A = this chain, B = another copy of it.
Amino acid sequence: MARKYVSKRNLEFMLYEVFDAPGLTRYPYYAQHNKKVFDLTLAAALKLGKDLLNPIFEEMDRKAPYLENGRVKVHPAVRTIMAQFGEGGWIAAKFDEKYDGARLPYLIADCCQFIFTAANYSASVFPGLTAKAARLITSFGSPEQIATYVPKMLGGKWQGTMALTEPQAGSSLADIATTAVPTDQGHYLMRGQKIFISAGDHDGVENVVQMMLAKIEGAPAGVKGISLFIVPNQRPTTDGGLEPNDVTVTQIYHKMGYRGAPITELSIGEKNDCRGYLVGQAHNGLAYMFQMMNGSRLSVGMAAIGISTAAYYAALDYARQRPQGRLVSDPTTPQVPIIAHADIRRLLLFQRAFVEGAFALAMQCCLYADLENALEGEAKEKAALLLDLLIPVVKTYPAETSIRSTSQAIQIFGGYGYCEDFPVEQHFRDTRIHTIHEGTTGIQGIDILGRKVRMKNGKAFDLYLEEVGRAIDQARAVETLKPYAQRLAEALDELRQITAGLIARGEAQGSRAMLADATLYLDYFSLIAVAWQWLLQAITADKGLAGHPSKANRNFYEGKLLTARYFFHYELPKAMGLARRLSEGDGLTLAMESDYFSD
């Protein structure tokens, strides 16, 4: 039975009503597209999700990858997925025409990625990672490297990976110990160990290409000595063949969720015969990697939203069908569907407010990414700054909130939700990875408060306040939205004060004092950002209602408005407690010495 895991109507609402995706085609950069192309692309993505990815959602979890004779065996469908995503142009969707790409805007391509993650997160990772790895090569690699690797990767024949983490270097990339020794043949000899490498090997492709961080012998200490290398599991030979490149899978991790994708431990150069190919300039690897990081972090947020969206629709469907309890006390009357109960509606409203609010924020970030591509000069810089500022928000708010959202989906199912009979327990397990990979929540908190709100003398933050202020002004013109405009205006004003107070604390007491509650600051910032997005959606829904909509559309817009109100009445008030804490500068966590945790 086909199961609903995304709402086409909501995708169209976001792309065509809230954000004007077709408007992007006015710019030369996206001029080859039109709304028709976008519609066809979305329809194709929905079909791919339905026919190829979702039917094996549970199966990929139950039959997890395993290591056999040194090779990782994945679900046989992975080969089909990589082939179809390659041949169908999905891996190359955002690449330029010169790489046979479609140069789709983020708004469209990431909507498709969202559909894939909602259909089957583990499956979506194989092509998604490959695109990101290929992007590093097209951005910083030599023409020869591009010619050797990119067509195979974008064609779905070779898997791409990001090989950063090592046993002693997780959050602290400064401590990477994998070494690269130059040879007189141009390549480097690599040696080291990498852990937690997603898709580090598997039999769904002919080859795996690791984009690997390592240090060239004699490099400066710390992050300034990190270089980026292409390290294929099988290296191309001069006659067009492949030969082993001394990359060994030493372990496959047994994970709680996200089990369809193999996460591997790799031993590099055990026989001193692992060749790495330097990408770009030596010692510049971390900078290259970080230029890709916005996309990676946005993808993580999008995946958390996708998984939670699928869980939400499963819960909604169940809530409408499951009879339990009554609104009247007469036990001889029939039971009502549980969606009649206020508490079930609250659980559903929370999920919807989260998934649609966070998705709107992700779409907003995509729009900034598209404008950065399409525009020049000051306008380009503005888009880039806003995107930079919001990346820790759009990564972490979904990642953290998805734990609660998928948990509440389980709650609606009661005991059934805790069992494998329904998909929600898997969604809950799958999404738990997202606060960890691509920078933990703690790292994101430090990123926004330690760097982003202060960068360029606070320019990004000022631009952001203007953007939100503009939405508030629009909402003030709508009678029913005035109270919400007012609530957001007050919250925004407080955000400005709290931020200034924290920066002042940093100047007076140093960055450790300023950043002690950085994660709470990120939570706080996020609530206001998502409230902004709900105000934008409410403005659009109000317009929709004014336009004599069909019954279905009226229900949709009414639902949007009530969900917006839910966010303002149930979620935004959480900012109050956070603001109170953030305004206290008592250094409590700094005072809590390790010894005080004894016993």
Contacts and interface: CB of A to CB of B under 8 A. Distances in A.
A556 B168 CA distance: 31
27 contacts: A170-B414, A171-B414, A172-B326, A174-B331, A175-B331, A222-B331, A222-B332, A256-B418, A256-B419, A257-B418, A344-B442, A345-B590, A348-B592, A352-B597, A403-B403, A414-B436, A415-B436, A418-B432, A555-B595, A555-B598, A562-B592, A563-B592, A565-B586, A566-B588, A573-B580, A574-B577, A576-B580
A352 to B, nearest CB: 7
Interface centre among A175, A222, A566, A599 (most CB of B within 10 A): A599
A470 interface: no
Interface in A398-436: 403-404, 407, 410-411, 414-415, 417-421, 425, 428-429, 432-433, 435-436
A76 to B, nearest CB: 23
Contacts of A407: 403, 432
Residue of A223, A325, A596 most packed against chain B (CB within 10 A): A596
A519 interface: yes
A411 B441 contact: yes
Pick the 9 closest A-B CB pairs, nearest first. A222-B331, A573-B577, A559-B596, A342-B516, A9-B599, A343-B442, A256-B425, A254-B420, A576-B576
Given A174-B331, A414-B440, A574-B577, 7 more contacts: A170-B415, A172-B325, A221-B331, A339-B594, A520-B570, A562-B591, A575-B577
Give the size category of A's interface with B: 35 or more
Interface string A158-189: 00000001001011101100000000000000
A556 B597 CA distance: 7
A327 B223 CA distance: 15
Contact of A586 (B170, B349, B569): B569
A161 to B, nearest CB: 15
A342 B599 contact: no
A429 B410 CA distance: 12
A515 interface: yes
A520 B410 CA distance: 18
Interface in A308-324: 316, 320, 323-324
Contact of A168 (B326, B335, B429): B335
A295 interface: no
Nearest to A426: B256
A145 interface: no
Given A325-B171, A414-B436, A515 B555 contact: no
Interface in A238-259: 253-258
Given A569-B581, A594-B339, A598-B552, A415 B165 contact: yes
A346 B442 CA distance: 10
A370 interface: no
Contacts of A196: 415
Nearest to A513: B342
A566 B517 CA distance: 12
Interface in A220-241: 221-223
Given A170-B414, A415-B196, A343 B432 contact: no
Interface in A189-238: 195-196, 221-223
Interface string A538-570: 000000000000001001101100110110011
Name the residue in A419, A565, A569, A597 with the highest tally of chain B Cβ atoms < 10 Å from its Cβ: A597
B223 A331 contact: yes
A584 interface: yes
A445 interface: yes
A35 interface: no
Given A331-B221, A418-B432, A345 B589 contact: yes
A410 B574 CA distance: 24
A255 B418 contact: yes
A437 interface: yes
A512 interface: yes
A25 interface: no
A196 B316 CA distance: 22
A341 interface: yes
A40 B445 CA distance: 47
Given A175-B331, A175-B335, A428-B432, A588 B565 contact: yes
A291 interface: no
Contact of A596 (B257, B323, B558, B590): B558
A553 to B, nearest CB: 9
A451 to B, nearest CB: 14
A506 interface: no
Contacts of A417: 436
B597 A559 contact: yes
A362 interface: no
A517 B573 contact: no
Given A345-B589, A596-B562, A255 B569 contact: no
A445 B343 contact: yes
B432 A410 contact: yes
A558 B597 CA distance: 9
Contacts of A175: 331, 335
Contacts of A326: 172
Nearest to A352: B597
Contact of A581 (B165, B559, B573, B588): B573
Nearest to A552: B598
Interface in A424-471: 425, 428-429, 432-433, 435-437, 440-442, 445-446
